[in-house]
Structure 1
């Protein structure tokens, strides 16, 4: 190496040491480790968490179901807490300050009639043999043509299914759902899954008898059709159906065929629109052009959801997710009271997470700021589980550019990361997933996965049950999470530390 190279390397080393020292010093200033937290401060935070949970999960709030008085009370509570801390509306919509509209559709139950016709012969299938479901008030197919596509593999051409009802032999539900999507994309007007028996039809009918929520703009127009093999044999004739099954299972391969039959289907459901809202607040930073940090937690729960004969039917949602809201509120207050932050801090309280991340999906569809400007998003969900000192679960590990800064903050807080496989199964079951799909770096860093025994006990006995009530909750890990996120956010909100 030349002398110039040696001198350059020395200068670079000095600059690196200076930068490392600066980062260490800044970390000490902005985020004290657990050893520097006073017991009185920790206890005070636990008490404030309890106060928030007691209100949000109270009988008065009615289980925070979207579209109810419980929603109104929850949104008013969030606004009072954040506005008093110095936050402003984050909707960036003067017509809808603080609360961004999300129109949901409530769909319940329904009846169906399915009739096959071959020549002049008509066969109407019985309830145990077939069912059709719709998310609209009425779905109808009259004298539709049919195409049998075997197991619905990738070799099914558009020409055979376009404009027809595609009939396929269904396996596991997840694989069958993927086959349905593929056939619809290739132009099928509807898809009929052939099941081995009627047990799955009865389970689906029971599920459909309960109310479910969808985004109103996203309600599936397509009929979902299901029929048993007994029903197919009765409609087409036992010999004709057995020949079709044998051809689909032949090792030599199978080519989809048009059936010499037509089908008439009518399905109904009870459907109504449910106005709801996402709560959005903003803490202005000194360098708003440098992007934003997003904090999010779902505010909704199920309302009345216990069995009809139960003494207590109200699902209060104390742990899930009044505890996440409590953490987000107190974290927001600490960020507002501390040294000014460079980047804007946005707070998002999502609706209808329990129904399929609907509020988060609505936010991603119509964000108040460009999604690409969000530097990091932290989701708080079901945090009242682990005790103080719990290890940390990291959902989203390996999927964003945040891994290193999160690992460093966890180490600086004196905590440990749990094995990745413990948290990863919940990746698609939390609001951050709706943002990750839009390339927003969204993660969950939570004590909930730190104590596996406590987590399993909650999931098996309290999760989505009337027993998830306020009371003597474990909040030590939640307060730990607050300090960890304060450290993380102060680092990430500084454009100099995190360009």
Structure 2
């Protein structure tokens, strides 16, 4: 999934949390004293190297690489001492449809000052959620709908007064507050809301009856370059199976380069920059571009059951209460080749490291003995395709979500060395922040809010699937204020990964990696989860958070 590309690592530590009293909002609880045991660096190294080897072909769902990956993970779970987590089996089927685009036409724009044609891949990308062998959008009227948001609770509707049924809507990425210096505004100021995510924009376009939806790519508000869009949107695409074969979706969803958008607007006699500024203001009115779009493609369609891998360590006193660790095992499979011809997106950092961490944590838990509550270790599929594996588990839970106390998500361990800070995505949202603070006590590090909330990282990894159904989840990682080199060095390393390896063939295992910081990071994950598994507390979302009401209803038996 398009997520934050790199968590620079936490500093190694003893991680000893004393009996700490927390008071977050309306809850107070004594956190148990937890000392993290030794965790196996050899487990981390060997599993990361194996999963990201070329033999696994990038671990795309539904491939031979998946079969190898889930076999390895289940065997390692068993060797660590876990029990199969799904009624005696290790796997949960996740019904997916695999659609691979082929024979794409140029994106043709007519009706303006001059006719235009744009090339698939370099100028635009597109796919269809509809399970149809051929998709064609012909002479479709184009309408610019600003940020493509319909939010009645905020008094905002970019579709007001316009009928887009059967038309092609052109949409800006992120939300209208992007670029704000504060967290105050119609859409949370600088922090992205779900309305800013590309997934929402396609969902709303479909609800409005559009034939096609094209998002204008802009690197800063998107938080990734065109290279990431191109590698992620070409090749196999996975979607959740639906009863109607995607008939209620648009015919076509895609992205266009900002430069391409500028040419389209110019052909319509419009200035893209002017219209982008207008779209930020409440009361914006959609603009009929008086152009027509035509594009076609063919689909190779295959239905498959991918797999989540589920292991459990049963609790010794309260086995019907659950703590969950999540990480996604999948990656992009074969993708756009690098200049040297390498076309395997190995996904070493993203997320062979997180999958290895599940096994290393399982080993540590069993060596320490079962905690009071049961602990679920969940390696999910199809995160890169839209959090599909975690969404399927959350909507079809093996263990009741009302009895799931909370959890920790792990998505990509970077290799930059120890940092002075820890970054929490969604800091201030839940009472789990206090658990992290306790785990860091005496460690010399501080927990900080993400520095770029406008990039919407909260909605880009598997914790979100559980959060929106009420389960408190924490998602954190090492900061960029490195002990060796400070913030400047951390930001440079992060940028280098994003530009040169993230979602590309060069995210490969490196035997020269320094794992010292990774293991310190892993101890924090252990301590936070073990605290949850040993306390009697039921942490909640903080008052006023968007997920609080859902959790309250779930816990009340609603």
Instruction: Give the TM-score, by structure 2 length.
Output: 0.64
Is the contact made by 1:57 and 1:470 (CA closer than 8 Å) also made in structure 2?
no
SS at match of 2:421: coil
Residue 371 of structure 1 pairs with residue 401 of structure 2: yes
Matches within 5 A, 1:207-356: 210-217=234-241, 219=246, 221-224=249-252, 268-288=298-318, 291-305=321-335, 307=337, 309-356=339-386
Matches of 1:210 and 1:473 in 2, distance apart?
30
Matches of 1:440 and 1:482 in 2, distance apart?
22
Q: Cα distance, 1:307 vs. partner?
A: 1.8
Q: Among residues 394, 399, 417, which one is paired with 2:446 in the alignment?
A: 417
User: Kindly tell me: are residues 166 and 157 of structure 1, through their superposed partners in 2, closer, same or farther at Cα, counting changes over 3 Å?
Assistant: farther
SS at match of 1:52: helix
Matches of 1:430 and 1:395 in 2, distance apart?
10
Q: Cα distance, 1:288 vs. partner?
A: 4.1
Q: Among residues 494, 502, 510, which one is paired with 1:463 in the alignment?
A: 502
Specify the alignment match of 1:435 in structure 2.
466
Structure 1 unpaired stretches of 5+: 1-17, 119-124, 196-201
Is the contact made by 1:357 and 1:430 (CA closer than 8 Å) also made in structure 2?
yes
Matches of 1:287 and 1:306 in 2, distance apart?
51
Specify the alignment match of 1:172 in structure 2.
172
Q: Cα distance, 1:209 vs. partner?
A: 7.8
Is the contact made by 2:110 and 2:291 (CA closer than 8 Å) also made in structure 1?
yes
Q: Among residues 77, 80, 86, which one is paired with 2:81 in the alignment?
A: 86
Structure 1 residues 383-392 or 224-233, which shifts more? 224-233
Residues 129-162 of structure 1: CA deviation (Å, up to 9, x unaligned): 9998633323467999x7978767837568x638
Matches of 2:284 and 2:460 in 1, distance apart?
37
Specify the alignment match of 2:525 in structure 1.
485
Residue 67 of structure 1 pairs with residue 62 of structure 2: yes
User: Kindly tell me: are residues 487 and 167 of structure 1, through their superposed partners in 2, closer, same or farther at Cα, counting changes over 3 Å?
Assistant: closer
Q: Cα distance, 1:335 vs. partner?
A: 0.9
Q: How many residues align?
A: 440
Specify the alignment match of 2:100 in structure 1.
107
Report the aligned-residue RMSD.
4.7
Is the contact made by 2:316 and 2:370 (CA closer than 8 Å) also made in structure 1?
yes
**Structure of higher CA gyration radius:** 1
Is the contact made by 1:103 and 1:275 (CA closer than 8 Å) also made in structure 2?
yes
Q: Among residues 423, 426, 433, which one is paired with 1:396 in the alignment?
A: 426
SS at match of 1:293: strand
Specify the alignment match of 2:5 in structure 1.
none
Greater RCO, CA 8 A, separation 6+: 2
Q: Cα distance, 1:383 vs. partner?
A: 1.6
Is the contact made by 2:406 and 2:473 (CA closer than 8 Å) also made in structure 1?
yes
SS at match of 2:323: strand
Matches within 5 A, 1:129-168: 134-135=128-129, 136=131, 137-139=133-135, 154=157, 156=159, 161=163, 164-166=165-167
Q: Cα distance, 1:495 vs. partner?
A: 4.0
Matches of 1:304 and 1:149 in 2, distance apart?
34
Matches of 1:61 and 1:182 in 2, distance apart?
36
Q: Cα distance, 1:283 vs. partner?
A: 0.9
Specify the alignment match of 2:188 in structure 1.
none
Matches of 2:320 and 2:385 in 1, distance apart?
34
User: Kindly tell me: are residues 74 and 442 of structure 1, through their superposed partners in 2, closer, same or farther at Cα, counting changes over 3 Å?
Assistant: same
User: Kindly tell me: are residues 204 and 270 of structure 1, through their superposed partners in 2, closer, same or farther at Cα, counting changes over 3 Å?
Assistant: farther
Residues 459-483 of structure 1: CA deviation (Å, up to 9, x unaligned): 3333333252241222112211222
Structure 1 residues 61-70 or 259-268, which shifts more? 259-268
Structure 2 unpaired stretches of 5+: 1-18, 23-28, 149-155, 176-195, 217-225, 540-558
User: Kindly tell me: are residues 111 and 332 of structure 1, through their superposed partners in 2, closer, same or farther at Cα, counting changes over 3 Å?
Assistant: same
Structure 1 residues 101-110 or 432-441, which shifts more? 101-110
User: Kindly tell me: are residues 275 and 86 of structure 1, through their superposed partners in 2, closer, same or farther at Cα, counting changes over 3 Å?
Assistant: same
Instruction: Give the TM-score, by structure 1 length.
Output: 0.71
User: Kindly tell me: are residues 408 and 386 of structure 1, through their superposed partners in 2, closer, same or farther at Cα, counting changes over 3 Å?
Assistant: farther
Residue 496 of structure 1 pairs with residue 492 of structure 2: no
Is the contact made by 2:171 and 2:213 (CA closer than 8 Å) also made in structure 1?
no
Is the contact made by 1:298 and 1:349 (CA closer than 8 Å) also made in structure 2?
yes
Specify the alignment match of 1:7 in structure 2.
none
Specify the alignment match of 1:385 in structure 2.
415
SS at match of 2:303: strand
Q: Cα distance, 1:450 vs. partner?
A: 5.4
Is the contact made by 1:129 and 1:228 (CA closer than 8 Å) also made in structure 2?
no
Residues 378-404 of structure 1: CA deviation (Å, up to 9, x unaligned): 112222424357532222321222111
Matches of 2:265 and 2:529 in 1, distance apart?
59
Matches of 2:326 and 2:390 in 1, distance apart?
9
